[in-house]
Amino acid sequence: MNSLTKEGICPMYSPKIIEHFQNPRKAGKIPDADGIATIAEGCGDIFRFYVKIRNNRLEKVGYEVKGCPVAIACCSMTATLAEGKSLADAMMITNEVVEKALGGLPPEKKHCSNLAADALYEAIQDYLYKRALAGNTAPAASGDDWRYMYLPRDVPDSKGNRR
């Protein structure tokens, strides 16, 4: 029976989802976070991301999640992908990137379980917004200057995609 369910005849959970669900990476809140965002859409699940930023890099990423196994795995994968990246690169992590990294998601889970990357993006935006409020509107020195400014959610990214 195990071989039936584990070899992928049951399409529910990929081995990677199960692995991240069992051992979620980087879970937990960051008390002195620079940016925080919560997404609670869809089915009652809650995704909350924390970012600690240093020199325009995600020095630390943490999260809290209340949700199904897929939601937990998405948070774990998102945090794993994001930590250590520059803000610009981290903002390029989309839900689709997370899905691919997990080896695919069950179709019925796609829209409500896969919101971790959105929450991360919003947490980075929260940091940029707070920075702007504090009067620091100067783009950081980097090739991706414009990305280091606060962007309301529906401003298109460099490829013209709206989030």
Partner 1 sequence: MIYLDHAATTPLHPEVAAVMYDVMQKCYGNPSTTYTIGREARELLENARKQVADLICAQPEEIIFTSGGTESDFLALWGVVCSHKEQGSKKGRGSHIITSSIEHHAVLNNSANLAKYLDCTVTYLPVDGDGLIDPADVKQAIRSDTTLISIMHANNEIGTIEPIEEIASIAREEGVPFHIDAVQTVGHIPVDVNKLGVDLLSLSGHKFYGPKGVGALYVRQGTPFTSLLQGGGQERGYRSGTENLPGIVGLGKAAVIAQRDMEKEQQRLEKLRDALIKGIEEQIPGARLNGHRTKRLPHNVNFAFPNIEGESLLLGLDLQGIAVSSGSACSTGSEEPSHVLRALGGLPDQYLNGAIRMTLGRSNTEEDITTVIEALATLVKKLNQLFSS
**Binding site residues, ligand FES, CB under 6 A:** 42-43, 45, 67-68, 70-71, 109, 112-113
Position 44 contacts partner 1 (CB under 8 A): yes
DSSP annotation string for 38-78: EE--TTT-EEEEEEEEETTEEEEEEEEEES-HHHHHHHHHH
> Per 3-state DSSP, what percentage of the chain is helix, strand, and coil (rounded to 5)?
40, 15, 40
3-class secondary structure, 123: helix
Phi-psi region of 57 (alpha: psi -120 to 50; beta: other; left: phi over 0): beta
CB of 125 to partner 1, least distance (A): 22
65 binds, among ligand FES, partner 1, none (CB under 5 to 8 A by kind): partner 1
Closer to ligand FES by Cβ: residue 33 or 116: 116
By beta-carbon proximity to ligand FES, the closer residue of 68 and 92 is: 68
Cβ proximity to ligand FES, 71 vs 128, nearer residue: 71
- By CB under 8 A, name the one of 8, 15, 59, 66 that touches partner 1: 66
How far is residue 48's CA from residue 27's CA, in Å, rounded to a whole number?
A: 10
Per CB under 8 A, 104 contacts partner 1: no
**CA 129/CA 133 separation, integer angstroms:** 6
> Tell me, what DSSP letter sits at residue 86?
B
Among positions 16, 21, 142, 149, the unique one binding partner 1 when judged by CB under 8 A: 21
Contacting positions for partner 1 (CB under 8 A)? 13, 18, 21-22, 24, 27-29, 42-46, 64-69, 71-72, 108-112
